Structure 1
Amino acid sequence: MLSEKSRPVIEATLPVIAERINFITPEFYKRMFAARPDLMDGMFSRSSQLEGTQPRALAGSIAVFASWLVENPNSYPDEVLSRVAHKHASLGLKEEEYPTVYKYLFEAIAADLGDACTAEVAEAWTEVYWLMADALIKLEKGLYAQQANDVMQSEFKLVKRVESGEGVIDVTFEPADDTPMTDAVAGQYISIIAKAKDGLRQPRQFTLLPSEKNQRRVAIKLDPEGEMTEILHGLKEGDTVEISNPYGDVTLGAFGDDESAPLYLFSAGIGVTPMLAFVSELAEKGSEREVVAVHGDRSNDSWPLKDDYKAAVEKLKNGKLITFLGEEGQGDFFGRVDVAKIDVPSNASVYLCGPLPFMQDVRSALVEAGVPGKQIQYEIFGPDQWMLHDQARAS
């Protein structure tokens, strides 16, 4: 818990740190990578650094954690910590790197705040950092211990590659060595690490799709402006990449055990991937739960994994698919997903996946329609800049 000595200091300085943290974190990464360029090889995404998404995500997590401690000094924001820990584990972050992060983060804080970073302020924020770090280290140790092996990434060979939707490939990998595989849960993701054009190993996360045992199957959407999806799209059968164990805490279990509550799955574009995993798992178990899958896309041709998703929903005893497509006459509705056109009951469990603006719009409309925010889960591909979970619990 946060000490009584530090709490008033954090409370007094939180507005300043919260205002400055988005300027502090880029400077932190600049300092750390200058001293430790090896951390960019296989762990951090160069694109996320250039785009600013990783620094903003770190800034958000620190601000959320500190704010939570001020308001709830005897507890932690468990969901934010869990999300960060799963992401760290998928990248193979080691406990011994937390002092490295501390060193360069606090150098950046001191440089930004100047004389305002007194010994008292530095001591209080050091306490906050290590409370957060120690909580994450404990969670990450637990996640590593649950795996069927003790390696961060192992070699996998591409065994199948098919086109699925505009600019999307559906790829299946199998182990290239005898490393034991951990069984994945629907909704989890893996990190795939491949070499960039300059030889730097770069990680990207992808949601796992239904596959045969001892396989890892994902869908990869081409980003014309991205660094790595073009390289991954260029993989041929027989090529190898490094793949992490499966991680991710937004699974069917995140919705609780109440199967009497209807499940609504809202997706757009490549955001269909976790939904396909959910629906397939429910169908395989013979679930009788009411499941309404709502998908938005530009057209039937652009819709990734369309045939797989339709087939999976049809296998559900109480499954229904509702589509919003950008070409008239192709879907159930024309245009973007509009919650007002769907009767979503207030007791529904809801899952969102797609572009951030899509999820923000849908969530706002759902809350306005009477669905409590605590019943709405989401998944973001890449660094989580929303950090909504715990803040939304009371809504």
Structure 2
Amino acid sequence: MLSAQSVPVVRATLPVVGASLTTITDLFYRRLFEERPELLRHLFNRTNQATGAQRQALAGAVAAFATLLVERPGERPDAVLARIAHKHVSLGITADQYPLVGRHLLGAVAEVLGDAVTPEVGAAWEEVYWLMANALIAVEYRLYAEAGVADGDVWRRLEIAEHREESPDAVSLVLRRTDGRPTAAFRPGQYVSVRVELPDGAHQIRQYSLSTAPDHKTWRITVKRERAADGTVPDGEVSSWLHTHARAGDTLDVSLPAGDLVLPDAGTPLLLASAGIGITPMLSMLDHLAVTSATRPITVVHADRTPQDHVHRDEQADLVSRLPGADLHLWYEDDAHRSPGPQVFTGRATLGHLTPAPDTTAFLCGPLPFMRAVRGELLAKGLHPAAVHYEVFGPDLWLGED
């Protein structure tokens, strides 16, 4: 909770700080990488830095957290920060890295806002930062403890047991331990980080959802080759490397599982909505539900460009068919490639013909415009905002919008 003396200061300065946060985070990363260039090469996503997506995500997170402190002081920040904490754990972030970040972030605030940052204002925003940092540290400490590892000790060398071409732009990699022991347990919907060494010697890290149910023997990730849309940034560095170089028998640095998009234990209705490669965490959930012979009502929605682009299409259909309470609704943008079927539609996905039960829990994964549209429809149909969960691949640009 923010101290009594800092609440009015943060409330009064939040509009000006919020309006400058993109500039502040841009300067923050520039100063951070000037001092520690290895962080950009070996920890941070260079593509997200080039596009500005990471700066936007950090600005949104800080704004959301500060707003929560002054507008809803009685609420715990864990819900806001859980997604960030899980991401940090998948990267092996440790508590001793937070002072470096705080020094450069608060320094950027002072440099951008100049004389507006009086000692009183500086102290109040330093309190905001350390409330946020300590909340993250606490959640991350708990996650490391639950995994039974020392803080930051998340990386393991795994062997590629199988390499499968799933579509022209997607491959799946089945991973196993090199010592023959079982892989770590995970919850359906979680992801792992994969770290590769690129030709320039940089180590880059990306997150990929585990796309099958936990079986304690192997993991599977499905990697879509990311292609630049406008030529301003190169194609995905890690996804391209994995498509070109990762073969059965090779080994990869892979983190322990993380992620807060996980199935609830209750038997209430589910709605799983995905688009494109966003199908992967939903496959893990569906596989788990099929393995455990779930009978709860399950509505599965998936959108793609064409059936040929629909990764794991047959597998998804098979899993749905094994669940007596499940039904599948598909949308394909390209009418020329439409597959026949009673629940196959043309165009962009809509939930107009669906009536989810009031106690439905919804999970969304896919491009942000898709998730915004689906979430809006679900709220209009009466679902509570807390019942709609989502996963994003990359920086969470949604965090500061609600």
**TM-score of the superposed pair, with normalisation by structure 1:** 0.94
Contact 1:149 1:180 (C-alpha < 8 Å) held by counterparts = no
What is the letter of the counterpart of residue 244 of structure 1? Answer: S
Give 1:317 shift.
1.8
Per-residue CA distance 1:369-394 (angstroms, 9 max, x = gap): 322222211111111110169x4xxx
Gaps of 5+ in 2: 228-234
What is the letter of the counterpart of residue 295 of structure 1? Answer: H
Q: Cα distance 1:111–1:180, how it changes in 2: closer, same or farther (>3 A)? A: farther
In structure 1, distance between residues paired with 2:53 and 2:127 = 26
- State yes or no: 1:378 paired with 2:390: yes
Gaps of 5+ in 1: none
In structure 2, distance between residues paired with 1:76 and 1:20 = 26
Contact 1:149 1:181 (C-alpha < 8 Å) held by counterparts = no
In structure 1, distance between residues paired with 2:308 and 2:182 = 38
Question: In the alignment, which residue of structure 2 is the partner of 1:246?
Answer: 257
Q: How does 1:311-350 map to 2 (within 5 A)?
A: 311-328=318-335, 329-330=338-339, 332-350=344-362
Which of residues 308, 312, 316 in structure 2 aligns to 1:309?
316
Per-residue CA distance 1:7-35 (angstroms, 9 max, x = gap): 10000000011110111101101101110
SS in 2 for 1:264: strand
SS in 2 for 1:164: strand
In structure 2, distance between residues paired with 1:388 and 1:173 = 35
Question: In the alignment, which residue of structure 2 is the partner of 1:284?
Answer: 291
Question: In the alignment, which residue of structure 2 is the partner of 1:184?
Answer: 186
Question: In the alignment, which residue of structure 2 is the partner of 1:228?
Answer: 238
SS in 2 for 1:350: strand
Give 1:197 shift.
2.3
In structure 1, distance between residues paired with 2:180 and 2:29 = 36
What is the letter of the counterpart of residue 209 of structure 1? Answer: S
In structure 1, distance between residues paired with 2:319 and 2:354 = 21
- State yes or no: 1:214 paired with 2:217: yes
Question: In the alignment, which residue of structure 2 is the partner of 1:355?
Answer: 367
SS in 2 for 1:3: coil
Give 1:227 shift.
1.8
In structure 2, distance between residues paired with 1:293 and 1:347 = 16
Contact 2:174 2:218 (C-alpha < 8 Å) held by counterparts = yes
Per-residue CA distance 1:185-227 (angstroms, 9 max, x = gap): 1010000000122110000001002164232210000112222
Question: In the alignment, which residue of structure 1 is the partner of 2:399?
Answer: 387
Q: What RMSD, in angstroms, separates the aligned Cα atoms of the two structures?
A: 1.7
Which of residues 165, 170, 174 in structure 2 aligns to 1:163?
165
**TM-score of the superposed pair, with normalisation by structure 2:** 0.92
Contact 2:195 2:204 (C-alpha < 8 Å) held by counterparts = yes
Aligned residues: 386
Q: How does 1:1-395 map to 2 (within 5 A)?
A: 1-150=1-150, 151-176=153-178, 181-210=183-212, 212-224=215-227, 225-234=235-244, 235-253=246-264, 257-259=265-267, 261-328=268-335, 329-330=338-339, 332-387=344-399, 391=402
SS in 2 for 1:162: strand
